[in-house]
Amino acid sequence: MAARADLSAPDPLLRALADCRALTVALTAPLSDADATVQSMPDASPAKWHLAHTTWFLETFVLRDHVPGYAAFDPSFAYLFNSYYEAEGARHSRTARGLLTRPALDRILAWRAHVDAAVAVAMPSLGEDARALITLGIHHEQQHQELLQTDILHLFAQNPLAPALWDHPRTAPAALPDPIRWITGRTGIVQIGHDGTGFAFDCEGPRHDVLLHPHALADRPVTNAEWLHFIADGGYERPDHWLSDGWAWVKAEGIIGPLHWRRVGTEWHGFALDGLHPLHPAAPVTHISHYEADAYARWAGARLPTEPEWESAAQDHDPLSGNQLDTAGPVRPRATPVGDGLRGLFGDVWEWTGSAYLPYPGFRTAPGAVGEYNGKFMSGQSVLKGGSCATPRGHVRASYRNFFYPHQRWQFTGVRLAKDL
């Protein structure tokens, strides 16, 4: 087990880093070396790679660049565990990460412990630039904590034994919610984007004005039970509700339901990190693509919310609320709590919007390698908002912009409807 940095130190940044690093290791604790090595598809990465890349980030951008005399734990790791930073040079192919049987998992954990200890020793002498990179490193690792869980889930889903990462007895499903109620949104000129208070990724700003037309948002996300009605009505069999690219994807891939849904006899079951279980009818539907979310919305006589509509509504809600990741253990979307107004905006499932992931007016990438973090991906992807059950609590806010390609659905992705008024 990798050692933690010294939590007795009074520096809150060091404590936050140590807690974050410990959670990543705890999430992988049930894995064997084989579990941690395999790559189930090009979009996913092995657990061992996530453990290593987040360590590479700290060693490269903090220790190498800001601690005089620091010597890399293993110079070959710079090639193996760079992700997409062109400024850092050549790197191992993303699609071949699952072939890295060496270094072994224990070697990666030893590297993590070495880097954690080096950062802890250096922390008192680090300047503001280095401390800002540590803060970025924490939020970067939190992103990988979510990817780590969804990548493990996708890997285990390929196994006919349907293994559980964490065995956990399930309680009786919650009662089905009332039909969707429509909550009128703001109209006119509003501001969105990060307001400059606390940490944010560069793509969340600058804050700027947008014009909202009369609209309403559904009071909760779409449920599994509602998605079953879509399937029963031929939702995956008729092209009339689908975007052309989406229908081509359905036919080419043989899509008949959300990812990780399986027929067991005559009933649908869902595979999650606690194994294969009957669907919870009241829980938000998850593991759906943008294509599926858009098709469902059209079928339901609605549409997807725009990013400004969603963010404007969420500014009045607590981003620390909802079903999010607190500790290592089984995660899955849960039924949205009963209540009035908009519910479940944060946690459970990332909610697809109808907005493209594009730069805000006045956006500029940061100088150097860290400037490659978000800006260069602003092409062909759609924005998701709100976080999921696998998102570390405290990581998201109303301005947070997640983004994926329209066909991708191995994340905890769901949908909340919108309509014009």
pLDDT at 3 over 50: no
Residue 42: alpha-carbon gap to chain centroid: 17
Residue 81: alpha-carbon gap to chain centroid: 20
Mean pLDDT of the chain: 94
Percentage of the chain surpassing pLDDT 70?
A: 97
Structural tokens at position 181? 């109620």
Check residue 1 and give its pLDDT. 35
Structural tokens at position 73? 């734990």
pLDDT, average across residues 88-111: 96
Write down the pTM of the prediction.
0.95
pLDDT at 5 over 70: no
At residue 247 the predicted structure's pLDDT band, cuts being 50, 70 and 90, is very high
Q: How confident is the model over 277-309, as pLDDT tens digits?
A: 999 999 999 999 999 999 999 999 999 999 999
Check residue 6 and give its pLDDT. 52
d(CA 155, CA 46): 9
Give 301: exposed, middle or buried? Use CB within 10 Å, 0-12, 13-18, 19+.
Answer: exposed
Lowest mean per-residue pLDDT among 27-41, 156-170, 239-253, 385-399: 156-170
pLDDT, average across residues 129-150: 97
Check residue 9 and give its pLDDT. 54
Percentage of the chain surpassing pLDDT 90?
A: 88
